[in-house]
Amino acid sequence: MRSQKQTGKFLCLVLRHRPEAIGITLDRHGWADVAHVLKGVGISMTELEEIVATDEKQRYRFSEDKTRIRANQGHSVPVDLELEEQEPPEFLYHGTVGTFLASIREQGLQRQSRQYVHLSKDVETAVKVGKRRGKPVVLQVAAGKMYADGLQFYLSENGVWLTHEVPPAYIKMPVPPSH
Ligand code: HQG
């Protein structure tokens, strides 16, 4: 038996990275057919509704009529989430680990396998993001300045700030100083 957490992880994989794992496709806005997802993941509508409602990061949303579902952010497959450009707060934060710092210092933050660089609204959230990979290091991003300089920001439905890349000049690293 798969736990709800394991099912959630699998759903995340399907809706962000590998819909073909259950033989489905996403439309160009990232939507999957709910009936196909239920069949492919092997869960009931009640279980899917529970995952969507209780996901700690609110990673998924249903269409209004609940016939379609998509991930709110985090895709590696190219989808157009139709997010509107938004003015960010003056500073945003990025949680990472020490081993990436030299490269980030040189290249800035790159989106890597995902569609966007993900930024957090506070240090606490960024610490959690960094912790997924080891001892967290938090970088401060001068988002207000980037925006003033014409770089674009989007806010996902679940509160994650997204941008195409963060050039090194806008990154203060690391804060607070690691020791
Ligand atoms: C790093 C999770 C070397 C970057 C989280 C990160 C987030 C570089 C990794 C969301 C680099 C990419 C995204 C450069 C960036 N050189 N390393 N130039 N630029 N990196 O997973 O931000 O649970 O794609 O620091 O909470 O860690 O999935 O991005 O360590 O919101 O919903 O390359 O995923 O949410 O890793 O995480 P990721 P991320 P979920």
Instruction: Summarize pLDDT for 36-66 with one digit per residue, the tens.
Output: 999 999 999 999 999 999 999 999 999 999 9
Is residue 24's pLDDT more than 90? yes
Distance 116 CA to ligand 1 centre (A): 9
Give the closest residue to 57 by CA, choosing from 8, 109, 17, 16: 8
Is residue 175's pLDDT more than 70? no
How many helical (H) and strand (E) elements, i.e. helices and strands, does the chain have? 6, 9
- CATH number given to 4-71: 1.10.10.970
Helix (H, G, I), strand (E, B) or coil at 91: coil
Is residue 83's pLDDT more than 70? yes
Q: Which atom of ligand 1 is nearest to the CA of 108?
A: 18
Which ranges in the chain are annotated with CATH 3.20.170.30? 92-175
Q: What whole-number distance in Å separates Cα of residue 122 and Cα of residue 93? A: 6
Mean pLDDT for 10-19 is 98
Helix (H, G, I), strand (E, B) or coil at 28: coil
Prediction pTM value: 0.93
**What is the pLDDT confidence band of residue 2, given thresholds at 50, 70 and 90?**
confident
Residue 4, pLDDT score? 86
Mean pLDDT for 73-102 is 96
First to last CA, the chain: 43
Distance 118 CA to ligand 1 centre (A): 7
CATH 3.20.170.30 fits 92-175, yes or no: yes
Give the closest residue to 9 by CA, choosing from 131, 132, 130: 132
User: Which residue intervals of 92-177 are DSSP H helices?
Assistant: 101-107, 123-131, 143-148
Distance 67 CA to ligand 1 centre (A): 31
**What is the pLDDT confidence band of residue 176, given thresholds at 50, 70 and 90?**
low
Residue 173, pLDDT score? 78
Q: What whole-number distance in Å separates Cα of residue 57 and Cα of residue 72? A: 10
Place of tokens 């990275």: 17
Place of tokens 């920001």: 153
Mean of per-residue pLDDT scores for the chain: 95
C-alpha dist (Å) from residue 94 to 54, 74, 98, 132: 25, 14, 12, 13
Residue 95, pLDDT score? 97
Is residue 71's pLDDT more than 70? yes
Pocket, ligand 1, Cβ cutoff 6 A: 57, 59, 74, 96, 100, 103-104, 107, 109-110, 112-114, 118, 129, 133, 160
Which ranges in the chain are annotated with CATH 1.10.10.970? 4-71
